[in-house]
């Protein structure tokens, strides 16, 4: 009996690795291989939205995504040009502004101020709220008649007439970027603050003794230590923003007149609203490739591979 339990224990011990890692590996293999292969597969078919009949069309979905009327190397599809431009503007401005703002706030929070913990808590909260709620909240803030922004501006005498923010293409894009910066700056603050705390204190003291200017202190002391954190913050921010549907969908719905339609909302509209899953899958493939390309470029610029510190 005792012999039996001992051998069972030994056998269980030998199975420790497969039993602990196995379920996770199977699960994640499922996420990488199965849905991704299914995505590539679906992008080669035309699915009739009504009968759900699939018809093999080869690369036609990609042709009609990239070119007008689906003629290879004819004139480029104006939609993809327009929505790519919106995506670049949205992601570019949001990431740049939130990065600079986050860096500034992180530097301030890195001083040993009293009540720093409270301030840190206060600035992190926006990122933890559901994006849907944040999007609707900003939609309400920018509301023409009863929104707080117009209320403050008109009440403060800054403007005399209310501005219809969300019914003008450019203003709606600006409103969207403001909301995005509001939501994601805390993330940058968290990551960069952790990076700043890696900078050895005595290096600052040394720089101070040498009478280094503020800029040179940042350039030569802070930046080299912060580089890995900057890379992570920017990578995650950019790939998150490309795929973020929540804010756009509830705040502007891609409107007015498609002027805030970005890749994510275009994909959702194509696949789920119009039911053209083949076209949606093709756009998904393009997005997947773009994301990996961007990550590769960022790692080239900031050096290092993703799995080295």
Cβ proximity to another protein, 75 vs 308, nearer residue: 308
SS3 252: coil
Q: Which two structure tokens, joined as six digits, stand for 298?
A: 């960022």
Q: Which stretch binds another protein (CB under 8 A): 70-78, 92-100, 151-159, 216-224?
A: 151-159
Q: Which stretch binds another protein (CB under 8 A): 69-77, 78-86, 215-223, 266-274?
A: 266-274
CA-wise closest residue to 91 among 303, 289, 263, 281? 263
34, 72, 223, 274: which one binds another protein (CB under 8 A): 34
44, 63, 103, 267: which one binds another protein (CB under 8 A): 267
Spatial distance between the Cα atoms of 307 and 298, rounded to a whole number of angstroms: 14
1, 55, 112, 201: which one binds another protein (CB under 8 A): 112
- Residues 153-172 within binding reach of another protein (CB under 8 A): 154-155
234, 239, 261, 269: which one binds another protein (CB under 8 A): 239
4, 55, 75, 309: which one binds another protein (CB under 8 A): 309
Q: Rounded to whole angstroms, what are the CA distances from 176 to 18, 85, 160, 302?
A: 47, 15, 24, 29
* CA geometry: angle 132, 135, 137, nearest 5 deg: 105
Backbone angles phi, psi at 157, to 5 degrees: 75, 15
SS3 224: helix
65, 91, 95, 123: which one binds another protein (CB under 8 A): 123
Q: How far is the CB of 257 from another protein (least distance, A)?
A: 18
- How many alpha carbons fall within 13 Å on the CB side of residue 22? 6
Asked if 121 touches another protein (CB under 8 A), the answer is: yes
Phi-psi region of 275 (alpha: psi -120 to 50; beta: other; left: phi over 0): left
- Residues 275-304 within binding reach of another protein (CB under 8 A): 277, 280-281, 283-285, 287-288, 291-292, 295
- Residues 189-218 within binding reach of another protein (CB under 8 A): 190-191, 193-195
Cβ proximity to another protein, 68 vs 255, nearer residue: 255
Cβ proximity to another protein, 76 vs 148, nearer residue: 148
For the window 44-83, what string marks contact with another protein as x by the rule CB under 8 A? ----------------------------------------
1, 2, 3, 17: which one binds another protein (CB under 8 A): 17
Asked if 95 touches another protein (CB under 8 A), the answer is: no
Cβ proximity to another protein, 68 vs 127, nearer residue: 127
221, 242, 254, 261: which one binds another protein (CB under 8 A): 242
Q: Which two structure tokens, joined as six digits, stand for 6?
A: 């001992």
User: H-helix or E-strand containing 134?
Assistant: helix 131-141
Asked if 130 touches another protein (CB under 8 A), the answer is: yes
Q: Which two structure tokens, joined as six digits, stand for 91?
A: 């992601």
70, 169, 228, 256: which one binds another protein (CB under 8 A): 228
Spatial distance between the Cα atoms of 207 and 228, rounded to a whole number of angstroms: 22
Spatial distance between the Cα atoms of 213 and 281, rounded to a whole number of angstroms: 53
2, 69, 78, 114: which one binds another protein (CB under 8 A): 114
Distance between alpha carbon 232 and the CA centroid of its chain, in Å? Answer: 12
Spatial distance between the Cα atoms of 31 and 27, rounded to a whole number of angstroms: 7
Contacts of 22 (CB under 8 A, 6+ apart): none
62, 99, 165, 182: which one binds another protein (CB under 8 A): 182
């Amino acid at each position: 009996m005792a012999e039996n339990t001992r051998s069972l224990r030994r056998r269980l011990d030998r199975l420790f690795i497969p039993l602990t890692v196995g379920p996770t590996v199977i699960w994640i293999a499922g996420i990488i291989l199965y849905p991704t292969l299914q995505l590539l597969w679906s992008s080669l078919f035309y699915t009739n939205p009504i009968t759900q009949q699939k018809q093999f069309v080869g690369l036609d979905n990609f042709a009609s995504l990239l070119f007008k009327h689906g003629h290879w190397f004819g004139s480029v599809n104006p939609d993809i040009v327009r929505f790519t431009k919106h995506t670049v503007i949205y992601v570019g401005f949001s990431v740049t502004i939130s990065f600079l703002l986050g860096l500034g706030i992180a530097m301030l929070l890195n001083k040993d101020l009293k009540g720093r913990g409270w301030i840190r808590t206060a600035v992190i909260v926006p990122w933890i709220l559901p994006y849907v709620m944040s999007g609707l909240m900003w939609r309400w803030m920018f509301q023409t008649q009863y929104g707080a922004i117009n209320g403050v501006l008109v009440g403060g005498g800054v403007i005399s007439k209310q501005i219809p923010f969300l019914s003008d293409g450019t203003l709606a894009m600006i409103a969207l970027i403001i909301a995005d910066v509001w939501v994601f700056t805390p993330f940058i603050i968290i990551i960069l603050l952790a990076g700043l705390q890696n900078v050895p204190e005595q290096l600052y003291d040394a720089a101070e003794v040498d009478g280094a200017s503020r800029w040179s202190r940042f350039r030569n002391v802070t930046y080299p230590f912060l580089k890995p954190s900057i890379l992570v913050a920017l990578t995650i921010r950019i790939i998150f923003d490309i795929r973020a549907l929540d804010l756009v969908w509830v705040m502007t719905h891609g409107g007015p007149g498609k002027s805030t339609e970005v890749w994510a909302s275009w994909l959702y509209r194509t696949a789920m609203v119009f039911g053209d899953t083949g076209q949606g899958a093709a756009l998904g493939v393009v997005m997947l490739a773009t994301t990996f390309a961007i990550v590769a470029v960022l790692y080239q610029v900031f050096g290092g591979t993703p799995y080295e510190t």
